[in-house]
Homo-oligomer: A and B are copies of this chain.
Amino acid sequence: MKKNIAITPPMGWNSWDCYGASVTEDIVRKNADYMAKNLKDFGWEYVVVDIQWSEPTADSHQYHPFTELNMDEYSRLIPAPNRFPSSADGKGFKPLADYVHGLGLKFGIHIMRGIPRQAVHNNTKLLGTDKTARQIADLDSICHWNTDMYGVDPEKEGAKEYYESIFKLYASWDVDFIKIDDIANHYPKKEVEMVKNALDSCGRDMVLSLSPGPAKLEEAEHLKQFANMWRITDDFWDQWKPLYEMFERAEKWCIHSGPGHWPDADMLPLGALRLDYPDNNQTQFTEDEQYTMMTLWAIMRSPMIMGGDMVYNDDFTLSLMTNKGILEMLKKARNSRPVFRKKIDGREIVLWTAFRDGGGKYMAVFNLSDEAATFSIDLSETEIDERDLTELWSNKVWEVNGDYIEISLNPHGALGFICK
């Protein structure tokens, strides 16, 4: 681990949930502007351009198969200048990164594992080796949902040089964050190691984020060593079922989070989503579900990457992203763990605790049932000795009767406490 990378769970914004493959430089700049103005002080910093920035005709969440991508002479994808005008004349993402850096933020990009199919079909050159694209490709290793790339066979001569050549390019653009796709679930270990080694030798610190999930629990120690964050689910969207299922994933992965290595519950589908579609643009989560998501992400210490176009944030959405107590929990929770998951009066209640760096504890309580729940918690049973409790969403000091507190939760609702 490089100590200055991802010491706490990364926080930022990503263009996928709102624009799919079709984001443009203008949108990125506007979201960066918004973040700098409204969110930077709360810890939000990464601005990430998601998939297919080299595809000139991308216009939605649907990919155009076999369309021509923008590529340099060494088989490396470069931004499509019609969508990212500042990238013209071989400047790549450097001007946009400069802009983001100028706002005091950090800049990230998405890449696909492998080498462009068009490079393999045309058998183009590679940088730093006399091998060619076709010679390093693994022709049986394709992505199941996108036709851009073939996998790279790590055993092939020239493979290492190819991966080094792309990370050198990203370093020359001053990129701070790489989200690499089609790699976390099937987890081609040798290719992961080659990616990480190429990053480590590129001369610039970058967060390495692996997608999509679910990553395999049995690879936890390898993931901790070779990545800064990795997806523990398939793509997460604004529906209750996957949010409900996240609790089990969180239980399994919670012992594996720590400085530089974070199990990632995926982007936050909040606010304005799917803007390439005519309607259904607002998150389908209820407000309670949004509290639940933010509270779980915070206490389990998942990276928080906003998925909606922030320019359209309403007050509620902005309030979720600027709750200082919750965001402090994300940074200061330690040894987070589920304490119980049980039926109380027929409601499925989950309770987590964590210690707080600097003193005190955190406690989060969730109602996973479709009905409201009212019950007492015996703090001594949960090993909470503190009796000064403040609920973080309401900023309300909670009444404690001896060892007991009373809880009322809406369906799918959550409360988060700081205990001092």
| Residues of chain A at the chain B interface (Cβ within 8 Å) | 1, 3, 7, 65-66, 120-121, 123, 134, 139-140, 142, 144-145, 147, 221, 224-225, 251, 254-255, 258-260, 334-342, 353-355, 357, 359, 378, 380-383, 385
Contacts and interface: CB of A to CB of B under 8 A. Distances in A.
Contact of A335 (B65, B147, B336): B336
Main secondary structure of the interface of A (DSSP, over half): mixed
Contacts of A260: 381
Nearest to A358: B385
Contact of A144 (B140, B144, B225, B334): B140
A204 B65 CA distance: 36
Given A66-B120, A335-B354, 8 more contacts: A65-B134, A66-B123, A140-B142, A258-B339, A258-B381, A259-B380, A259-B383, A359-B359
Contacts of A65: 120, 134, 139
A258 B382 contact: yes
B381 A1 contact: yes
A114 to B, nearest CB: 14
B139 A255 contact: no
Nearest to A378: B3
A139 B147 contact: yes
A65 to B, nearest CB: 6
7 contacts: A3-B380, A7-B380, A140-B144, A255-B338, A259-B380, A334-B355, A335-B355
Contacts of A66: 120-121, 123, 134
Contacts of A139: 65, 147
Contacts of A381: 1, 3, 258-260
A342 B219 CA distance: 12
B335 A221 contact: no
Given A3-B381, A254-B255, A258-B382, A335 B357 contact: no
A55 to B, nearest CB: 15
Residue from the set A255, A259, A359 with the largest chain B CB neighbour count within 10 Å = A255
A224 B385 contact: no
